[in-house]
Structure 1
Amino acid sequence: MTTSSPSVFTTLKNTSTPVRALLLGGFINQLGFFVQAFLVVFMLARHFSALQAGLGVTLLGLGAVSGTLIGATLGGKIGNRNAVIVGTLALAASVASAPFLVTPGLPAGIWGAAIVLMGMFGQLFRPPAATILSQHMPSDQQVMGFSMYRIAINLGAAIGPLLATALSQVDWSLVFWVNAACSTAFAVIAWLAIPNDHAAQTSAAMSTHSPAQQWQQVLSDWRFLAFLGAMLLSSVVYIQVYSTLPMAIEATGQQLAVYSTLLTISSVMVIALELKITALVKRYPAWIPALIGTTALCLSVSSFGLTLASTPGLILSIICMVLGLMTSGPTMFAYPASFPMALRGKYIGANQAAFSAGNALGPLVGVSLFKAEPTLVWVMCLVLTAASALLIFVGMRPKAQPATPAVSV
């Protein structure tokens, strides 16, 4: 265990202006980031088929994977602050055009490309933003910093759906235009409050390798690849809460209001408890909370196969899942920031790409297994629990130091 560290409130009080700007910008952007949660509803309202709406979700996920990789590379070329501005402005433009381009009367290639671009720009700014956060937080406060950023995003995610629902009752176009306005606000905040690091990024790039060579270095780090595998598999499990679980609850004959209750419990727990839990677990080596939390999260998701018929059982499963998420989440997302600055953006981008890939792959696998045999999806989650735990142990546990030979006298 490490020595004691500053409290949550001390950390919040001492955060720099760029970090506060990221917290505010992240909250505002997520408050209006409606496309991820409401794309299916929007497409069905526009009279797309259910198959086309499902394809839209997949395309959004594929765009997200490419966006994280592009964002990590772009941050090294033009500076992380500039990459955040470019990414959020591009997101604003892409979502503002959605009411005109995502319509069933247009060829699939056009509305499909529009969705891919929304997914790409929705993630492009995230690796540069995470790199800025790591640059402006002391090394012993990295996990707390990422936890604060997650809290800001979760606050926006908790309020945003209520706003989107109200806007959709007036006009679906308003949903996307407010999304564009929120993304533009984040760009303005970044421009005003985050220092331009382009010169520093250029200097660092001149002393290291090309972006392709940097990516090669990251991908040749087999221990980090094991960590990425754990992130990918655990996100496949995690996304079942949002893809397969509502279908499974409905199949038991329960009201979907039960599912809404679970989501509310999840949001309230994260907002109320994550910073406190992070303050406790960050005292330990990173691999310990990552291993314990990820195992608890994945086991809890697999337990839905046993608790589906009981609302109290479902609530117990979701509580355990969120406790696991809060234990491992900040550490898993902060871990890539521990690598050297010259490659940090690439490590962060690779991590977020693995997470996005799991979120894109998970619904396809989970729903397919559920339709074939409902219990298979929860068995899959149990198997992936063991695989994720093993990969975290291999990838994150520090290498054993060779014993110092005794000196004879």
Structure 2
Amino acid sequence: MPRFLHTADWQMGRTYSRFETEDGAALVEARFEAIEKLARLANEHQCQAVLVAGDVFDAQTVSDRTIRRVFNATRAFPGPWVMLPGNHDAALAESVWTRAQRLGAVPDNVHLALEPGVIELAAEGLAILNAPLTQRHTYGDLTEAFGRYETPAGLVRVGLAHGSVQGLLAGEIDSTNPIAPDRAQASKLDYLALGDWHGTKEINERTWYSGTPEPERFRNNEAGNALIVDISGPGELPQVQVVATGRYQWHQWRETLSVDSDLDQLLERLQNLPESSVVDLRLDGLITLAGEEKLQHGLSVAEARFRSIRCERSNLQLAPTDDDIAALKADGYVGDVIETLREQQAGEQGEVARDALAILASMLKTPAQEAGQ
């Protein structure tokens, strides 16, 4: 009974310039660790093969070191790997794949599906029908050829492709590289292994996107998995097991603060996240000076715990209460300045006014506290 691991969209060579240098380096390293984990999973689940449905590399211009590290990371699984070019690493006349071959980096057990056709893995009971992208964007369904491919009797027919299943993905997905939603049935495939959609998604009982094994964006679409697929024989339905592979969890929150309890709930949610979190937080609404201090403390704690946390607060207005002002002992001219800055937060220089108000409050706070001791 053939059993294989389906994965895709490794995007090796991706950079994370929006993050701090240390965090970006850790996110890059996690992608190499993901390949090593896939190899271990293939061994643990006694898979006959690993199928990679495109975008092994993020670009044609990745470094030679990245190329070598990718193939080195596969070595723990000695069975066959089949790697398909996707839109980021299309099989051009001169490509990252031809460079890998010139470097002598491709192990003997790794099959590069650089041309349309069939890769027969007879010992494993598999016939892999390939539709590699030979350019970044195509407008015809390359998997249509699967219906014309003959495969030996007794071998399970598995399609391997990279693109967008028409009419079934989210509206913003790229419409290029189309794939017919009934391709598996029309071409008598036992299973169609797809890449391009970075989350795990079942199209139908024979057609799946595995998603990327290590999340790399904040879109909540079930990324960070691989699929273990069992097919008892030609014509039989596949049994698909979703296996978690991701190291880091990406969270993107958009929160509006209105009352003190909103802030308390936000900080509690942050505290409950695991240390492997990558958090993008955007806040708007109103916050008191006391709340601002509490928020700053909470973010400081989170920065030390999480892999990364970024908080955009330009639309979060400071709204000092009467108690805030009284605690600062800000009267006379200083009180007038505070009131002016409160009003200016709603104007074109709102972010500047907000920062100025926060700085002024912090400057006033220490002497005020000392005077009260």
**TM-score bin, normalised by smaller chain:** under 0.3
TM-score, structure 2 normalization: 0.21
Mark the structure with the bigger radius of gyration: 2
Q: Identify which of structures 1 and 2 has the higher relative contact order when contacts are C-alpha pairs closer than 8 Å and 6+ apart.
A: 1
Which is helix-richer, 1 or 2?
1
